[in-house]
Chains A and B, each alone.
Chain A
C-alpha cells in the first residue's frame, strides 16, 4: 500500500474537510500520493495538495455535473494511470455511487463507511456494523487495488508540511452517452453542510409539536454552525423533507455534537446517530430511550430550554 490515490473534492474553491482528513492520515508516512479531481478547480487546490506531498493530480475539468457513466470512466482511468494500489475517498453521495462502479470495472476490493484508518505498520481499518451495534476490522487483499471510503469527521486534520511539486494531468476519459443523461438539477434549499458531513447536528422530533417549531432549531443551529436533522416520525408527518431524516431509512450520521430535541429515541433513530461523539438529549419524558444513549440529558420543556440555549450560546460565542 505504498502508492495511494486520494479522491479530491472541493468546497468554496479549496479542499473539502473530508479530503483533508484523508491526506492528513498520510502525512509523514512516506507514501507516493496522487489525487483525482472531477470538475473544475484543479489550480486552486494545487498548492494545498503540494503541502500534503501529492505529486500528481488527475483532472477532467469538463466533469462539472455528476453522471455515473462519465465519472466511472474518469476515475477508472486516473486509478490505472496512477498505478495506485490503494484508493481513498471520503464517503458521500457521489463517491459511494461512482467508486462502487469503478471497483467492479477494475475488479478492485471495495469497502465503504470505515471510521478508523491509520498506517502504523501496514494499514489499520475498522468500520461499524449492524447500525454500530458492533464494529469489525477490515482486511484488504494485498494484491490488486483496494478502494476504501471513510466516513467524514473521523480523522484529525493536520497541516501539510511537505513541499512536493504537483503536476496536473488533464484527462479526457469521461464521456456521456445517450443511455444516461442529466436532465435537471433541483437545488436543495439548504446551503448548509449535509447531515452526513456536518460536524454538529441539531435534530427535532415529535416533541416539537408542529412543523413551524423547527424554526427554533434553525436558530440554534445557525448560532453553532450546525445542520438540522429530524426523526422519522416528523418526516412521515410531512413536517420536513426526507433529506433531513436521521436513522434507518434516513441518514447515518456521526458528528462531534448531536443535540436531540423532543426525540424519544426509537431504535431506528438510534441506529443512525449513536456514532456521534457527544449526544445531548432534551425531552420532557425522563424515561425516553434517548437518554440511555446521551452524554448529557435535560428533562424539560424544549420550548423553554432551546431558546435559552440559543441565547446563551449567542452571547458567548
Chain B
C-alpha cells in the first residue's frame, strides 16, 4: 500500500507580515515557516493507516524553495512519513500549477492507494489543491473529511458542510481525502523520530523536470496592501444598562448594522 501526503509550508499564524517595497509580494525575511496546520491532520491520518499495514509506505510531497522547505518535509517524516519528494520552486504558483506539479510527481511513482491533503492552507485559504489533484490523477475525492473508516479498499468518509450537516460517502481506492479538524489528533514527533527523520530519503526535482514552468500560472497576485488603519475601539462606559443602551444606539445610528 502506497500513500501520498501533500503538504504546504506556510507562515506561522503568529508571524508579523510585511510587504516588499514594491508591494509585489510579502517580504519573507524574518517569517517563521511551519507545516500548514490542516496538513498535520493529513499526515497523521496517512501514518495511522500505514502503521498496522506491513509494507505500507507514506511519501510526503511538497512544492516550494528547497532552502526552507526541507525542514517541513523532515517534520512530516518525524511524524512517520517514510520518504519525501521535494519540488524545488522559488516563485509563488497558483493552485492549478501547484496541483499539476504534484500530480506529475505522484504519477511518476507508479501505483498508489490513496492521497491525503489538508482541506486548505492558512496562507491563502484556497482549498483547491485536493480536488484539483484528484481530477488530474483521475481518482475520486472527498473534501473536508472529519471522520474516516479506512479498512479495505472501499473507504467511508464523512464530509462536513454548512450548518453542521455531514455528507457520508463511500469511495473506492485509489482516492483522495482532504483532512479537516476532528479527523484525528496529530502526534508530536518524539526526539528519536526527529533524529531518524534526518536520514530518510528526499527525492528532489524542479518544475522544469516535470515539464512545467512558473510562467504557466493563470492567476497572479500583485499590488499587495496592508489593511487600512483601524479606528480605535470605542469603549462603552457606565453600568451595564448604560453600556447596552449606548451599544444599541451606536449599532443602529453609527454602524447602521441593525
| B136 in complex: contacting residue of A104, A224, A252, A286, CB < 8 Å | A104
**Chain A residues with CB below 8 A from B167, complex form:** 65-66, 182, 184-186
Per-residue CB contact flags for chain B residues 138-173 toward chain A (1 = under 8 Å, else 0) read 011111101000000000101111111111111110
Minimal Cβ-Cβ distance residue in A for B100: A104
User: CA A19 – CA B155 in complex, angstroms?
Assistant: 34
Per-residue CB contact flags for chain A residues 217-257 toward chain B (1 = under 8 Å, else 0) read 00000001000000000000000011111001110100011
User: CA A87 – CA B242 in complex, angstroms?
Assistant: 50
**Chain A residues with CB below 8 A from B136, complex form:** 104
Instruction: Give the residues from 116 to 156 in chain B that come closer than 8 angstroms, CB to CB, to chain A.
Output: 122-136, 139-144, 146, 156
Which of the segments A32-40, A48-56, A207-215, A291-299 contacts the partner chain? A291-299
Does A69 lie at the interface of the complex (its beta carbon under 8 Å from any beta carbon of B)? yes
Instruction: Give the residues from 69 to 112 in chain A that come closer than 8 angstroms, CB to CB, to chain B.
Output: 69, 72, 92-94, 96-98, 100-101, 103-105, 107-112
| B162 in complex: contacting residue of A127, A137, A194, A278, CB < 8 Å | A194
Does B226 lie at the interface of the complex (its beta carbon under 8 Å from any beta carbon of A)? yes
Does A120 lie at the interface of the complex (its beta carbon under 8 Å from any beta carbon of B)? no
The answer to whether B258 touches A295, judged by C-beta atoms less than 8 angstroms apart, is: no
User: CA A180 – CA B145 in complex, angstroms?
Assistant: 14
Instruction: Give the residues from 195 to 245 in chain B that come closer than 8 angstroms, CB to CB, to chain A.
Output: 218-227, 230-231, 233-236, 240-241, 243-245
The verdict on A100 contacting B125 (CB below 8 Å), with A189-B164, A248-B37, A268-B13 known, is: no
The answer to whether A112 touches B164, judged by C-beta atoms less than 8 angstroms apart, is: no
The answer to whether B182 touches A185, judged by C-beta atoms less than 8 angstroms apart, is: no
The answer to whether A100 touches B127, judged by C-beta atoms less than 8 angstroms apart, is: yes
The answer to whether B243 touches A305, judged by C-beta atoms less than 8 angstroms apart, is: yes
The answer to whether A138 touches B240, judged by C-beta atoms less than 8 angstroms apart, is: no
Per-residue CB contact flags for chain A residues 170-200 toward chain B (1 = under 8 Å, else 0) read 0000000011111111111111111011001
| B241 in complex: contacting residue of A94, A190, A308, A317, CB < 8 Å | A308
For the complex, count residues of A whose C-beta is within 8 A of B: 100
Does B175 lie at the interface of the complex (its beta carbon under 8 Å from any beta carbon of A)? yes
The answer to whether B243 touches A188, judged by C-beta atoms less than 8 angstroms apart, is: no
User: CA A150 – CA B14 in complex, angstroms?
Assistant: 26
The answer to whether A241 touches B164, judged by C-beta atoms less than 8 angstroms apart, is: yes
Does A271 lie at the interface of the complex (its beta carbon under 8 Å from any beta carbon of B)? yes
The answer to whether A97 touches B144, judged by C-beta atoms less than 8 angstroms apart, is: yes
User: CA A102 – CA B126 in complex, angstroms?
Assistant: 15
**Chain A residues with CB below 8 A from B129, complex form:** 100
The verdict on A300 contacting B165 (CB below 8 Å), with A130-B17, A133-B17, A140-B218 known, is: no
CB distance from B38 to the nearest CB of A (A): 7
User: CA A139 – CA B223 in complex, angstroms?
Assistant: 10
The answer to whether A100 touches B95, judged by C-beta atoms less than 8 angstroms apart, is: yes
Does A313 lie at the interface of the complex (its beta carbon under 8 Å from any beta carbon of B)? yes
Does A63 lie at the interface of the complex (its beta carbon under 8 Å from any beta carbon of B)? no
Does A204 lie at the interface of the complex (its beta carbon under 8 Å from any beta carbon of B)? no
Minimal Cβ-Cβ distance residue in B for A67: B169
CB distance from B147 to the nearest CB of A (A): 10
The answer to whether A101 touches B236, judged by C-beta atoms less than 8 angstroms apart, is: no
Does B82 lie at the interface of the complex (its beta carbon under 8 Å from any beta carbon of A)? no
Does B1 lie at the interface of the complex (its beta carbon under 8 Å from any beta carbon of A)? no
- List 9 interface pairs A-B (beta carbons < 8 Å), by A numbering: A93-B144, A128-B125, A129-B221, A130-B11, A133-B226, A178-B172, A296-B234, A296-B236, A296-B247
Q: Which B residues fall within an 8 A CB radius of A?
A: 11, 13-14, 16-17, 19, 26, 37-38, 94-96, 99, 122-136, 139-144, 146, 156, 158-172, 175, 180-182, 218-227, 230-231, 233-236, 240-241, 243-245, 247-248, 250-251, 255, 257-258
Question: Top 4 nearest A-B pairs by Cβ distance?
Answer: A188-B164, A109-B218, A194-B162, A137-B223
Q: Which A residues fall within an 8 A CB radius of B?
A: 65-69, 72, 92-94, 96-98, 100-101, 103-105, 107-113, 127-141, 144, 146, 178-194, 196-197, 200, 224, 241-245, 248-250, 252, 256-257, 267-268, 271, 277-278, 280-281, 286, 291-301, 304-305, 308-309, 312-313, 316-317
Apart from A110-B126, A256-B257, 19 more pairs, CB < 8 Å: A68-B131, A104-B96, A107-B96, A109-B96, A110-B94, A110-B219, A129-B224, A134-B26, A180-B141, A186-B158, A188-B162, A194-B163, A241-B164, A245-B181, A257-B258, A268-B13, A271-B13, A291-B235, A309-B244
